[in-house]
Amino acid sequence: MKSQIAAPRYSFTVRLSSTRRGARLARQLVLSQLDMWGFPYGSPIAEAAAAVAAELSINAITHGRTRGRDFGLNLTRTTRTLRIAVSDTRPDRLPPEPGTLDVPPPDADGGRGLLLVDSLAVRRGCDVRDAIVKTIWAELALTQE
């Protein structure tokens, strides 16, 4: 019988305060972790992942915050993809489905974050684990330079 060898898999998980400082730290931790995984600072995948993590984290503290609760950041790397997942404590507030977003007017102050995520990611989704936690995730295609 031929055995199958699983693709190498790496993961990183951290909980952060639901503040702007926590969202900034999420971005920096993504850059640091990717550098350790062989995607150096300034590389296209590191910059894209940092942008996606920043947007998902800002959304978690803006739309998914519950007083006194943190948000979670998880990175999972396989040979082909990097999944960036951010969990918050507002499963009652779901994001729009991918492909359903309208471009906001030029003078609008917001509404572009998930458009940016959708432009960088190959897939995006939302999982509601229970009555307390939801996770928004995005997957980026990996190409080693």
Task: Decide if 10 is inside a domain.
Answer: no
Is residue 9 in some structural domain? Answer: no
**What pLDDT shows up at residue 121?**
96
In a domain, 105, yes or no: no
The verdict on residue 1 lying in a domain is no
Note down the domain range covering 75: 17-100+110-141
Read off the CATH number of the domain in which 41 is found. Answer: 3.30.565.10
Whole-prediction pTM: 0.87
74, part of any domain: yes
pLDDT at 59 exceeding the cut of 50: yes
Tens-place pLDDT, residues 71-127: 999 999 998 999 999 999 998 888 888 888 777 777 767 667 899 999 999 999 999
CA proximity to 57, closest of 143, 138, 145, 131:
138
Q: How many domains does the chain have?
A: 1
- Whether 129 maps to a domain, the answer reads yes
- Tokens standing for 121? 């990611």
44 assigned to some structural domain: yes
Collect all residues with Cβ–Cβ distance below 8 Å to 135 and sequence separation of at least 6: 72, 74, 85, 86, 87, 126, 127, 128, 129
> How confident is the prediction for the chain on average, in pLDDT?
88
Determine the average pLDDT of the residues in 49-73.
91
